[in-house]
A and B are shown apart, each in its own frame.
Chain A
Amino acid sequence: MRQNSALRLTLWWFLFTALCIWIHSFISGIDCFGPAVLVLMHLKRYREAIWLTPMWILINEGAGSLAFGSSLLWFAGLILLFLFLCLFLSSSNLLFLFSLSLMAGTLQTGIIALMAALQEITIPFERIVVQGILTALLFPVFWFAMLFAFQRWGRTRHVSV
């Protein structure tokens, strides 16, 4: 029973990851994995967040064109922002979500600009800003979609909680 649940949960996360990669290939520059980690933290499913985050970091780093470290900074920054905002607001508060989206967009822009400068890569500034804006705008959409999906399908008590 427990083994079946683990298998089902693994399959669910594999399908979710595959879907995210397809979304990444359609919307250039967007990241679905970042919001997913925060939704898992919001749902207090820390165990899944811990084993999925390194996998998603590897995927983003492998598919990216920046040197290793950008995704590490991105995920670490998101988690820190989440914990920081939790000091003032409840994570189910709408103001929390919109603040987080805005900060995530700014963080995305900052990390890419920093890494590009460190690696002496030329990236048009408008391109980085547009990516940050897109991240901020789509963050709440991904948040609600994942919240719904994780509560409805990606849930197996024996393993996840």
Chain B
Amino acid sequence: MVKRVLKAGRKRFWHFCLKNACFILPYPERGTRARLLKNSSLSAYVLVLIIFQLYVYHLSPQILGFATNIIVSDLYQETNEKRIEAGVAPLEVDSRLEQAALAKAQDMFSKDYWAHYAPDGSTTPWQFIISAGYTYKFAGENLARGFDTSVSVVEAWMASPSHRANLLADCYQNIGIAVVNGDLLGKETTLVVQMFGTLQPVVVPETSEPVSSAPSSTLPSDVAGTSGSPAETPAAAEPEPEPASVVGPSEVAISQPAALTDVVVSPLARVARVVNPVSSPKVIPLGFGFMLMGLFALDELAMLRGGLTREEMRRTGENIAHVSLLGLLMVLVLLTKTGGVL
């Protein structure tokens, strides 16, 4: 009984395979390609991709979801590890800088900008630091968005000379990081704000003359292309630090989106991110590229086995040309960086 069922199943399977083989296997003797490579099929792929892209990015942006694996404690650890490797003292976490970083991230989401300074000129990074009650002598800021992991964020900063200079500057003593999810420039984004600082020392004047100590603040763009520490680079324009009593930490506006102290995702969510073509923009191009390259390779194999010349066989494009273009696509997709630093 079982044998008969198995035999029938096997027979049906082979019947199905033979019946549908024309979809993936070419017929050189008939001068045709696999059905999945015919112009009608290629047109259908193009149409489906256009509709899908329009739907995902214009008609239904709300289906995008967060699934990053950025952990604030990992960012602190990674940063300090890089500093120790470079022979620079590690930084101490300061809650006021954390609040400043959070306020900065919320300001970027609420005003919808991706920059150190608000485009309308209403806020600067240093205002957030001062508002959080941190009277700085030195201050700096690194930004990142669109990354999946803590390691990739720090690696991107280290790969940029200006961000690296900020991250490894020996003039800083404190650090504060905020990781915030929200809608930025029409796209759901995970923002990482990293604030550095050194407190203004309390000077007790021994003489009658006042001691002046101008604060210095640094953004990655200020140190681009230089090897000096941020302290050596004068800030273009920054506010004079006001007394810490002007705005206390409690007055820092905390509104949605909220900071994510630990953006940890479950293993299931990680798998979902890889499988979900929307949240992982490389999955569909790579999968599609592999499929088409495989079909073209099968076509070429069938031609070679047929022992016929191209002229004798059919009038189709050169497989080598299409495979090379698809190969280029896949390499470029792999090279594309989806995150950005500022």
Bind each other? no
Task: List the interface of chain A (C-beta within 8 A of B).
Answer: none
Task: List the interface of chain B (C-beta within 8 A of A).
Answer: none
